[in-house]
Each structure stands twice: as structure tokens, then as C-alpha cells.
Amino acid sequence: MKTEILKPIRENIRRAGKLIRAGELVAFPTETVYGLGADGLNAMACRKIFAAKGRPSDNPLILHFSHLSKVEQAAKILPAAEKLFAAFCPGPLTIILPKTKFVPDDVTGGLSTVGVRFPDNDVARAFIKAADCPIAAPSANLSGRPSPTTPQAVYNDLRGKIEIILDGGACQFGVESTIVDVTCEVPEILRPGAITKEMLEEILGEVKVAPTITDKPRAPGMKYTHYAPKVPLTLIESSDDKIFRREIKNLRAENKIVGVMSSQELISKLDEEKIIPVTYGRRSDLKSIAANLYESLRNFDDLPAQIILAEGVEDFGLGVAIMNRLRKAATFILRD
């Protein structure tokens, strides 16, 4: 199958909608990352998503909507969800709600709940309207790889497996949506994102954070298979250039070609070192670091680095989402 990257003009949006109604897959931009979409009420179509990504079938998909009136068919709208819709939708937030019988088990991995989201992206909204059904979509990467934030990144992972990628340019936020479960007594954040705990608490009152997010993996040496670049990554939870120099020296003594992914501030302090530098932005600008994070990781696919040393950021606000992804991408974690 030939994979085309198409400009989001009306004719192409219509073609994408038709493909969805025919039970096929389409990759599309959102404000967070690119999604790999299928008709969310068509079990056979949704199964194609798992096959194309190599995704385990028990990892549920999120349903994407363009309009609130369409949600009722798929999910029971709880009062907390109504408040969140009013405050943050469209936007980078997924709300977990009880599902209806119309949502196939293939979408939810057999769960009785479903994730609901309204992307804040004109191309995504036009595409969902053209398809005229909820769009089930995970991120449009091969399972285990960094999520794609450009059409080219989708192409690199899914070339030959899907017919079209709608081109919406680079994604605004760059990390996946915040996921909040409102089916429990106290709402719980299952994945951190651009809508922070503090923002949710303003609307809902008390909000918990799932232990899977806060449980810091025992360092060093825990292995992950998420968001991973093609070579091992050591996350250094510090901006101290002395620690980086020490690690670079040790690795160079083993004849390793060392890549460093970090802030501009740190890279400029390491300019004497023999490294392959990739900067993810300025330390003070977490928004740009989030937006550049996955592309920075993917940059190393085409560079000769044999190991990546990555600088951590402060674990607060949007930094929580960035650190969550970096820890999952890491093979080793070093702390001060």
C-alpha cells in the first residue's frame, strides 16, 4: 500500500472521512500528537489499529468527538464530566466515563469504561465531522516508539500500512492528553498532560494522581518499552553539568558515541565535550520542551549516537507530563 501525506483541503478531508466509513485507518493531527483513527463503533476497523501499531489488544483506545451531542451514544455523561467539558473542551483532556453497549470491547480492551476527548485542532474536527462517527485513536506510532508530532514521524513508523496521513504540520502541545477518570468517588489522573492537576482541582475540588504516575521507579536500571528511541537512554534527573561530564567521560572510556538531549543552557556548558548534542528547548520554557520532546528523541534515529544522556526537568505543572514520558523512555535513571 502506498502511503500519502495529504494537505488538509476539503477534498482530502472528504476522502479521509470516506475511508473511515469504509472501515479503514487514517492518521490525523491533533493539538497533542498525531492519532491513528478508525470508526470507533466498528470493531473490525478498530482491530486494524492494533495490527498496524503492533499494540497489545488490552491497551484501550480513546474516542474522539467533534461535538458534545454525539457523546451520549457512546458514554454516560456524569456531572463531573459536564464541568470538565465546559472548562477544557475542546482541549488536551481525556475523560474516562462508563461506556454504552454501542462501543465495542475492542475499543476499551474489555473495560466497562471509555475515554472521551474533543481535540482542539481544526483539521481533526473537520475530519471527525466528515467521518460522522466517533473516531477511535491512539497515537500514530509503532507501539513502544515515541509518539509522532509531525506527519513525517507518522510516515516513518506506518509507511505502507495506511493509505493517508492528513498533514496538519507540527503539533502544538507535543505530549498526549491528560487522562482523568471521573467514574471513581475522587477523580483520578491516570496520565499527566497539559491540563495539570492544579487546573483540574480548580474545577473538581480534590483530585488524586494514580500511583502508577507517582511511584518513582527504583533507580537505576528499570527497563521500559515506552516512547523509546532506538538506542538506550539514561535519564539524569539533574541539570548539573558536572554529573553529565562524569557520565560522558565514563562512556567515552568505553568507546561509546554519546548523544546528549538537553536544554540549550546545559548544551552550551558541554561545548568542549565530544558528544552529539540535541536541544529540546530552553529550561525556562516547559511548553516548548513538551512540544519538541518526541521529535528530539526521534532525531537520534538518524544520528550515530550509541547511548543518549537526557536532562530531566522540574517535576511540577507541565514538567510532570514531561518527566513521566522521559522516565518511561529511559533504560536507566540517575538521580542526584
Does 324 bind ligand AMP (CB under 6 A)? Our answer is no
In the bound complex, what is the minimum distance in angstroms from residue 269's beta carbon to Mg ion?
33
Instruction: For the beta carbon of residue 184, count every other beta carbon within 10 angstroms.
Output: 9
x/- site string to ligand AMP, residues 41 to 60, per CB under 6 A? ------------------xx
Beta strands in 138-211 (DSSP E): 164-166, 178-181, 188-191, 208-209
Q: By CB under 6 A, which span of 66-74, 110-118, 197-205, 210-218 interacts with ligand AMP?
A: 110-118
Order of all β-strands in the sheet with 332-335: 276-281, 258-263, 307-311, 233-237, 332-335
Q: Which of 108, 178, 263, 292 binds ligand AMP (CB under 6 A)?
A: 108
Q: What does 115 bind: ligand AMP, Mg ion, none (CB cut-off 5 to 8 Å by kind)?
A: ligand AMP
> 150 or 263, CB closer to ligand AMP?
150
Does 114 bind ligand AMP (CB under 6 A)? Our answer is yes
Q: What does 93 bind: ligand AMP, Mg ion, none (CB cut-off 5 to 8 Å by kind)?
A: none
Residue 147 sits at φ, ψ, to 5 deg, of: -65, 150
> 294 or 300, CB closer to ligand AMP?
294
In the bound complex, what is the minimum distance in angstroms from residue 190's beta carbon to Mg ion?
13
* Total residues interacting with ligand AMP, rule: CB under 6 A: 14
> 176 or 237, CB closer to Mg ion?
176
In the bound complex, what is the minimum distance in angstroms from residue 264's beta carbon to ligand AMP?
29
Decide: residue 218, CB within 10 A, 0-12 exposed, 13-18 middle, 19+ buried.
exposed
C-alpha cell at 220: 537505576
Whether the Cβ atoms of residue 29 and residue 171 lie closer than 8 Å to each other: yes
Does 199 bind ligand AMP (CB under 6 A)? Our answer is no
Q: By CB under 6 A, which span of 105-113, 297-305, 315-323, 328-336 interacts with ligand AMP?
A: 105-113
Scan residues 58-77 and list those touching ligand AMP (CB under 6 A): 59-60, 62
Question: To which H or E segment does residue 50 belong?
Answer: helix 43-53
Q: Which of 12, 113, 296, 331 binds ligand AMP (CB under 6 A)?
A: 113
Q: Which residue is nearest to ligand AMP (CB)?
A: 138
Does 149 bind ligand AMP (CB under 6 A)? Our answer is no
C-alpha cell at 107: 475499543
Core vs surface per residue 10-25: b (16+ CB within 10 A) or e: eebbebbbebbeeebb
- CA 188 – CA 181 distance, rounded (Å): 5
In the bound complex, what is the minimum distance in angstroms from residue 146's beta carbon to ligand AMP?
11
Scan residues 116-175 and list those touching Mg ion (CB under 5 A): 138-139
C-alpha cell at 153: 514521524
Q: Which of 123, 179, 228, 329 binds ligand AMP (CB under 6 A)?
A: 179
- CA 198 – CA 207 distance, rounded (Å): 9
In the bound complex, what is the minimum distance in angstroms from residue 54's beta carbon to Mg ion?
12
* Total residues interacting with Mg ion, rule: CB under 5 A: 2
Instruction: For the beta carbon of residue 72, count every other beta carbon within 10 angstroms.
Output: 10
Does 263 bind ligand AMP (CB under 6 A)? Our answer is no
183 Rama class: left (phi>0) / alpha (psi -120 to 50) / beta: alpha
